[in-house]
Amino acid sequence: MPRIRLTLAYDGTHFAGWQVQPGQRTVQGVLERALAPLLMRRGVPAPPPRVHGSGRTDSGVHAVGQVAHVDVPEHRRGFPWQKALNATLPPDVRVVAAAEVGNDFHARFSARSKTYAYTLWIDPAYVLPQRARYVWQCGPLDLDAMDRAAALLLGEHDFAAFRNTGTNTESTIRTLYRIDRSTGLHPAECVLRFCASGFLKQMVRNLTGCLVAVGRGKAGPENIRSYLEEGDRSAAPATAPAQGLCLEWVEYPEAPAQGGHGDEHQMGPDRSPAPH
Amino acid sequence: MPRIRLTLAYDGTHFAGWQVQPGQRTVQGVLERALAPLLMRRGVPAPPPRVHGSGRTDSGVHAVGQVAHVDVPEHRRGFPWQKALNATLPPDVRVVAAAEVGNDFHARFSARSKTYAYTLWIDPAYVLPQRARYVWQCGPLDLDAMDRAAALLLGEHDFAAFRNTGTNTESTIRTLYRIDRSTGLHPAECVLRFCASGFLKQMVRNLTGCLVAVGRGKAGPENIRSYLEEGDRSAAPATAPAQGLCLEWVEYPEAPAQGGHGDEHQMGPDRSPAPH
């Protein structure tokens, strides 16, 4: 069966996250429902499609470059997936690109790195209405202190203190390649961009919560070191809210195959595919 | 009575424009309702306040730098207007700055220039969900042809062909200082930024509709010249939709007085106050 790689953008505000859940509106669920009628042949329903994402995003988290793959019937080879899906999907989820890939491509297991952006709004007096759904209003921050703290988080660490409790027992070691800070669309926006080999559950939101605590003078470099050493989630600062987070980019070893609108646009200044 | 200058941002999606209209949700109406209880003294209602805007914005048009003024009772001198109004206004309208100004300041009559941005989305395959409420998806455009056409519109002209019919008979001569084109937040966004001494009703949307017609090869420089010369609205291309338009900046001869959060942030790359 041909395998299709989909690059997806969504506004997470009205989604209960990526993963299918009974009775909830999820991105994966909406995609699978939009795909089902496109896989039929002469009106005969195909088995329900399964869309595999590069990873889950939490309820309320946005994406401009989520990647997923789906296997489709042979008779649908060459089908205009982007156009057909965008014609039926709701406007808060869009197919940015679609291309046939080899069957060795796996949206989750082939991923080499991911880049998330977290947008803070540092003006305490107001949030621009046009940006309110995409930022966390957290007031003035000591940005230099945050930069120094971010440097301590880079590299390979056991990020157990930054993983939400209640998840499974896989390794909590990850490599954080970069944390870049930049000004966003508006001067009151401070964007923290995280690139890592992979992220644990709520890891970006927990790292952001920690850096904001540093920016508010509630934690210092010595705290960062002890969070990493002790691995105790309950000792580290609170999780940042979901709405400031956006999955920007998933990097794979190879460029997507021909047969689609293959160039992927990124929001924000950093468009390089990334790690070293 | 002290006069307060308000700088306002709003998401126009759910407003029937700026101006108060019976039975409609308007920015002016929402502001006046939020102000009324703040003007009372010992529970005695004050006369309903009148908020004067720098100009009307149409239904669906956004703003990041609309300016208005309102006169308030003497006992409210020094009141924290920004904080108090933002505490009661709905989140789709925000006070970006508030400052007491002299009684010779008038939001409309003192304005020296205005800058509007119109955002086009030039990728025909999709619109990013996070940007869908703020752009007009118009597909690929010949941007060089649009730049050449824009140059013909600059300067002092009779813009009667770009004024919506049915308005009053004031002069239709305006001076267009600049039309700048830039890439927006996302590479698929093409932002046209118009700065003029003043704008006629729907003039920016009509100019944008005209430039998009040029970008689509439906009009050329000779058409621009004849629209300006003949002054016939019905001969010029159709009005661009409201949602792509944003009032960015209103310039006044003097800086706002002390007593407020006086620096005004702008979206987009051009933050200079402007005309020559």
pLDDT tens readout for residues A4-41: 999 999 999 999 999 999 999 999 999 999 999 999 88
Of all residues in chain A, what percent carry a pLDDT higher than 70?
90
**What would the DSSP string read from start to end of A120-186?**
EE--SS---GGGGGG-EE-----HHHHHHHHHHH-EEEE-GGGS-TTS--S--EEEEEEEEEEE-SS
Average pLDDT, integer, range B77-100: 97
Mean pLDDT, all residues of chain A = 91
* Residue B71 Cα to chain centre, angstroms: 22
Q: How confident is the model at residue B10 (pLDDT cuts 50, 70, 90)?
A: very high
Among A11, A94, A188, select the one facing B126 at the smallest CB separation: A94
Contact A11 B187 (CB under 8 A): no
Of A155, A198, A192, A162, nearest in space to A177 by CA: A155
Q: What is the pLDDT of residue B270?
A: 39
Q: Are A8 and A90 in contact (CB under 8 A)?
A: no
Q: What is the pLDDT of residue A270?
A: 39
Average pLDDT, integer, range B185-206: 95
Is the pLDDT assigned to residue A260 strictly greater than 50? no
Residues B49 and B52: their CA atoms lie apart, in Å, by 10
Pairing of strands B113-121, B136-137: parallel
Tens of pLDDT, residue by residue over A190-203, are 999 999 999 999 99
Task: Give the burial string for B81-90 (b: 16+ CB within 10 Å, else e).
Answer: bbebbbeebe
Among B128, B129, B267, select the one facing A186 at the smallest CB separation: B267
A250 close to B (CB below 8 A): no
This model's pTM is above 0.80: yes
Average pLDDT, integer, range B126-147: 96
Q: Are A264 and A247 in contact (CB under 8 A)?
A: no
Contact B86 A130 (CB under 8 A): no
CB half-sphere exposure, A128, CA atoms < 13 A? 25
Q: Tell me the shortest Cα–Cα distance from B133 to chain A, in angstroms.
A: 9
**What would the DSSP string read from start to end of B60-85?**
T-EEEEEEEEEE--GGGTT--HHHHH
Q: What is the pLDDT of residue A264?
A: 41
| Integer CA distances (angstroms), A87 to A46, A90, B70, B127, in order | 20, 8, 47, 12
Q: Tell me the shortest Cα–Cα distance from B97 to chain A, in angstroms.
A: 9
Q: Tell me the shortest Cα–Cα distance from B30 to chain A, in angstroms.
A: 15
**What would the DSSP string read from start to end of A138-156?**
-----HHHHHHHHHHH-EE
Average pLDDT, integer, range A46-52: 89
Is the pLDDT assigned to residue A44 strictly greater than 90? no
Q: What is the pLDDT of residue A266?
A: 40
Among B11, B58, B92, B232, the active-site one is: B58
Is the pLDDT assigned to residue B169 strictly greater than 70? no
Bigger pLDDT: A242 or A272? A242
Tokens of A273: 């595919």
Contact B261 A125 (CB under 8 A): yes
* Residue B212 Cα to chain centre, angstroms: 20
Task: Kindly state the helix (H) or strand (E) to which residue A95 belongs, with its residue range.
Answer: strand A93-101
Of B136, B12, B271, nearest in space to A183 by CA: B271
B77-B80-B81 Cα angle (round to 5): 90
Most A CBs within 10 A among B81, B130, B182, B191, hence the mutation to make, goes to B130
Is the pLDDT assigned to residue A248 strictly greater than 80? yes
**What would the DSSP string read from start to end of A220-234?**
-HHHHHHHHHH--GG
Residues A192 and A141: their CA atoms lie apart, in Å, by 13
Task: Kindly state the helix (H) or strand (E) to which residue B246 belongs, with its residue range.
Answer: strand B245-251
Residues A79 and A51: their CA atoms lie apart, in Å, by 17
B58 as an active site residue: the answer is yes
Relative orientation angle of helices B81-88 and B27-35, to the nearest 10 degrees: 110
The tokens 């409790």 sit on which residue? A165
Report the DSSP beta bridge partners of residue B41: B44
Tens of pLDDT, residue by residue over B47-78, are 789 999 999 999 999 999 999 999 999 999 99
Contact B126 A11 (CB under 8 A): no
Counting DSSP H helices and E strands in chain A, the numbers are 5, 10
Q: Chain B: residue nearest A262 by CA? A: B125
Q: Tell me the shortest Cα–Cα distance from B27 to chain A, in angstroms.
A: 13
Tens of pLDDT, residue by residue over A127-180, are 999 999 999 999 999 999 999 999 999 999 999 999 987 666 589 999 999 999
B121 close to A (CB below 8 A): no
Length of chain A: 276
Residues A178 and A252: their CA atoms lie apart, in Å, by 17
Most B CBs within 10 A among A128, A134, A191, A245, hence the mutation to make, goes to A128
A30 close to B (CB below 8 A): no
Contact B95 A130 (CB under 8 A): no
Mean pLDDT, all residues of chain B = 91
Length of chain B: 276
Residues B243 and B170: their CA atoms lie apart, in Å, by 27
Q: What is the pLDDT of residue A168?
A: 65
CB within 8 Å of A251: residues ≥ 6 apart: A111, A112, A113, A114, A115, A273, A274, A275
Q: Are A246 and A116 in contact (CB under 8 A)?
A: yes
